[in-house]
Amino acid sequence: MSDYVEPAENLSEAWLRTLELVHARGGRRVNVLTTITDPLAPEDLAVRAAIDAVLVPGSHKSGTLHSVQTVASTIFPQDLYQDPHVAWAPALPDEQKKRLDEAADDLYAAYGDMLSLLCTANGNKLGTYFGRMVSWPGKEAGGYNQLADRVHYLRSAHAAGRRTHNLSDIAVGGEADPADEPLSALQDAGVQVYAPTDRRQRGFPCLVHIDLTLLDGRLSMLAVYRHQYLVTKAYGNLVGLARLLAFLAQQTGFDVGELAVQATMADTQQSDFRGRKGIEALLDSARSQGG
């Protein structure tokens, strides 16, 4: 049965409410929708500290653990983006538009330089999320840059005065594989994170789809996960998605709307973290420390 998590203003509270709901209903639920109404609202750093205290980097029976920051960087590598602190607009002076373009280009280039090495790391042999977004299919530099394409299209919409969503133009989705399709067929392809030929039932990629929707000048995002690991991955995923949405909004000049995550399977990972008591201890720590 589907579950709708009460929308939260910030991502820390959204993560907590999701973990609490799924834990209370047995530890695994299907089709769980989590919504953050203000993805750029400040995090509750005490909540992040509580989850990072559990995610001590290294080997664990659930696999290799990574900090929230490391997980977030798989979706948007914030450290590689030199924020120009200006948002795109049709009338923006050319010098400032150039700064925005250079910041994005430098991000893509820096990540491209790292991509081959990143793919040699444990768990990355099939590519990385951000690699698939900026160099599809994501194993080496020089592939199809879906983010650059979306930025270009959204800027065109902004310049034309479009402020309300248009499914054929603004939605970012689809499953076409640029390796098998001519570029002309890919203009509405959207942000790809997997190919339709992918037959794996679990493992990378858990994030399978990202949609962007424009309504009343606000850019919103929906991310679909086929298996959302609520302890080891979910908080970092929310941080990374919020940063990706902020980047796209800044580069296209739209306001930031809401961020939603649909988990076809949401999992509290009880068996990996001392059963129900372990999850309850994490929740108690996050709630007691959080503001």
Packing angle, helices 45-54 and 275-289, rounded to 10: 150
What is d(CA 175, CA 224) in angstroms, rounded to the nearest whole number? Answer: 13
Sign of the four-CA dihedral 52, 56, 59, 62? negative
> What does residue 58 show for φ and ψ, rounded to 5 degrees?
140, -175
| Closest to 66 (Cα-Cα) out of 263, 246, 234 | 234
Lowest-confidence pick of 132-141, 162-171, 249-258: 162-171
Query: Does pLDDT of 190 surpass 60?
Result: no
pLDDT higher than threshold 80 for residue 177: no
Would you say residue 63 has pLDDT above 80?
A: no
Other C-beta atoms closer than 10 Å to the C-beta of 113 total 11
pLDDT higher than 80, residue 99:
yes
Q: Rounded to whole angstroms, how far apart are CA atoms 207 and 141?
A: 21
Residue 229 has pLDDT above 50, yes or no: yes
- Average pLDDT of span 146-162: 91
State residue 12's pLDDT score.
97
Tokens 């910030």 identify what position? 10
CA angle 188, 84, 260 (to 5 degrees): 45
Q: Exposed, middle or buried, 69 (CB in 10 Å: 0-12/13-18/19+)? A: middle
Task: Please state the rounded mean pLDDT for residues 28-39.
Answer: 98
Does the bond joining 7 to the residue before it have cis omega, within 30 degrees of 0?
Answer: no
Strand pairing report for 58-60 and 63-65? antiparallel
Is residue 246 over pLDDT 60? yes
pLDDT at 182: 43
Between 177 and 48, name the one with better pLDDT.
48
237 Cβ contact list (under 8 Å, min separation 6)? 71, 72, 75, 207, 223, 225, 228, 261
In the predicted model, what is the mean pLDDT of residues 151-180? 63
Strands (E), the chain: 3-4, 28-36, 58-60, 63-65, 207-215, 218-225, 228-229, 255-267
What per-residue confidence (pLDDT) applies to 124? 57
CA angle 82, 88, 92 (to 5 degrees): 115
Mean pLDDT of 129-156: 84
Mean per-residue pLDDT for 145-153?
Answer: 90
- Predicted confidence band of residue 92 (pLDDT cuts 50, 70, 90): very high
Q: How many CB atoms lie within 10 A of CB 84?
A: 18
Mean pLDDT of the chain: 84
What band does 228 get if pLDDT is binned at 50, 70 and 90? very high
List 228's β-bridge partners, or say none.
266
**pLDDT at site 193:** 58
Check residues 216 and 184 and name the one with the higher pLDDT. 216
Chain centre to alpha carbon of residue 112: 19
Whether 184 shows a pLDDT value over 60: the answer reads no
Confidence of residue 120 (pLDDT cuts 50, 70, 90): low
188 pLDDT higher than 80: no
- Tell me how far apart the alpha carbons of residues 132 and 135 are, in angstroms, rounded to a whole number: 5
Find the range with the poorest average confidence among 65-74, 119-128, 152-161, 198-207. 198-207
The CATH class of 3-289 is: alpha beta
